[in-house]
Amino acid sequence: MNPQRMRAIKLYKELMFLGRNYPDASYDFNGRMRRLFEKNKSLTDPEEIEKAIQLGEFIRNETLALYSLRKYRHLRRSYPPSDP
Amino acid sequence: MRPTAIRQLKVLVAVKRTIDYAVKIRVNPSQTGVDTNVKHSMNPFDEIAVEEAVKLRERGVNVESIRVITLGQTKASEILRTALAMGADHATHVELPDGADMPEPLGVAKALAAYVKREPVDIVILGKQAIDDDAGQTGQMLAGLLGWSQGTFASKLDVDEASKTAVVVREIDGGGEEIRCKLPLVLTTDLRCNVTVPRYASLPNIMKARKKPIEKLTAQDLGVDLSPRLETIKVSEPPKRVGGGKVENVDQLVEKLKAAGVV
């Protein structure tokens, strides 16, 4: 199978998995991701596909960063460091 | 003479299943505890502990095995899967009957001490506290029961395998304290333990973790009594905040302040 196709499918699965834990329930994360993929389904130029995949990977990394930052901030707020 | 083989470190990480940090905690109507029919996840501080153990291996320290252990009802095995997906090798679940009370820090420390006697390890890593009861006692009690060195509220860990010592930087009021301790060691991790945040268990890793076996034990196997020594009389919510009022002009404000006895 085309390696780009493999990457796209893997990325899609990862994004769907990440979307399960999206903090804002009213934000349709998985739906948006699906529509983004559908919009690009007819791409044929390898360069354009590469660009689209990289955008998807960027979204994945940003979402991961969002999750960890949210948790860190919550803990930081709940347990403020004691004043010197 | 043959050189003695380099001893590899064995690491044990204790984790707890707690109510997810993002969930709003509510007291149940009978005022016996909090509503537990909500999303649960691994205690964030324990996540940092697992991450520290995995990082230890990735930094090139000779780590033979990373074991994770939890005490809890059947569902606690979910977080063991998460820990396995993050990079632990073996998991042990000390199962409590469904509906049993959460064991207290002393009970947990005794169970961990009994487990460590069965399966010798060099470093036990725990989160400094759980976000549900905020006791922050288990690590200290465990170190006391075992008679080991303890590095609590650790923000940095450096292990020297040759001399069997570890240098731990602890978070103290207004700075850090660097202590050198002998292995075996009990370490409790603070929020700033890793320079990077705990990794997110990825989908393929979770799939792989499903195949790893989880060892099931009971409190009787370890020979410990986990029944609580404290009795919860009542759990209630903090008093509701009373809203403020608006004043029309300065005179009214002065009047109100006078009524409140401020001026």
Mutating which of B20, B43, B197, B205 best tests the A interface, going by the most A Cβ atoms within 10 A? B197
Rounded CA gap, A62 and A29, in Å?
13
In-domain check, residue B196? yes
In-domain check, residue A21? yes
Per-residue pLDDT of chain B (263 residues; tens, 9 = 90+): 565 556 688 999 999 999 998 888 888 888 888 888 888 999 999 999 999 999 888 888 888 899 999 999 998 988 999 999 999 999 999 998 887 778 889 999 999 999 999 988 999 999 999 988 888 899 999 999 999 999 989 988 988 888 888 999 998 887 889 999 998 899 999 887 766 678 888 888 888 888 888 999 988 889 888 888 888 888 888 888 888 888 888 988 888 888 888 77
In-domain check, residue A84? no
Cβ B44–A71 below 8 Å, yes or no? yes
Rounded CA gap, B249 and B73, in Å?
60
**Considering chain A, what percentage of its residues have pLDDT values greater than 70?**
95
CATH number at residue B39: 3.40.50.620
pLDDT in tens, A20-46: 888 888 899 999 999 999 999 888 888
In-domain check, residue A42? yes
Supply the pLDDT for residue B244.
Answer: 81
Rounded CA gap, B219 and B226, in Å?
7
In-domain check, residue A56? yes
Supply the pLDDT for residue B164.
Answer: 86
Compare CB distances from A79 to B191, B197, B200 and report the shortest one's residue. B191
In-domain check, residue A43? yes
Rounded CA gap, B9 and B28, in Å?
44
In-domain check, residue B1? no
In-domain check, residue B18? yes
In-domain check, residue B87? yes
Q: Provide DSSP, chain A.
A: --HHHHHHHHHHHHHHHHHTT-S-TTS-HHHHHHHHHHHTTT---HHHHHHHHHHHHHHHHHHHHHHHHHHHHHHHHHSPPPP-
Rounded CA gap, B218 and B71, in Å?
9
In-domain check, residue A14? yes
Confidence of residue A72 (pLDDT cuts 50, 70, 90): confident
With contact defined as beta carbons under 8 Å apart, do B128 and B153 qualify? yes
Which residue carries 């997906």 as its tokens? B85
Supply the pLDDT for residue B174.
Answer: 79
ipTM of the complex: 0.77
Burial class (CB in 10 A: 0-12, 13-18, 19+), B75: exposed
Rounded CA gap, B228 and A37, in Å?
53
Residue from B36, B27, B35, B37 nearest B234 by CA? B27
Mutating which of A69, A77, A78, A83 best tests the B interface, going by the most B Cβ atoms within 10 A? A78
Cβ B191–A68 below 8 Å, yes or no? no
Asked whether the predicted pLDDT for residue A75 surpasses 60, the reply is yes
Burial B85-107 (b: 16+ CB within 10 A, else e): bbbbbbbbbbbbeeeeebbbbbb
Instruction: Please count the structural domains in chain A.
Output: 1
Cβ A78–B131 below 8 Å, yes or no? yes
Its domain, for residue A46, covers 3-78
Supply the pLDDT for residue B197.
Answer: 74
Residue of chain B whose alpha carbon sits nearest to that of A74: B21
In-domain check, residue A83? no
Its domain, for residue B133, covers 9-235
Cβ A71–B191 below 8 Å, yes or no? no
Instruction: Please count the structural domains in chain B.
Output: 1
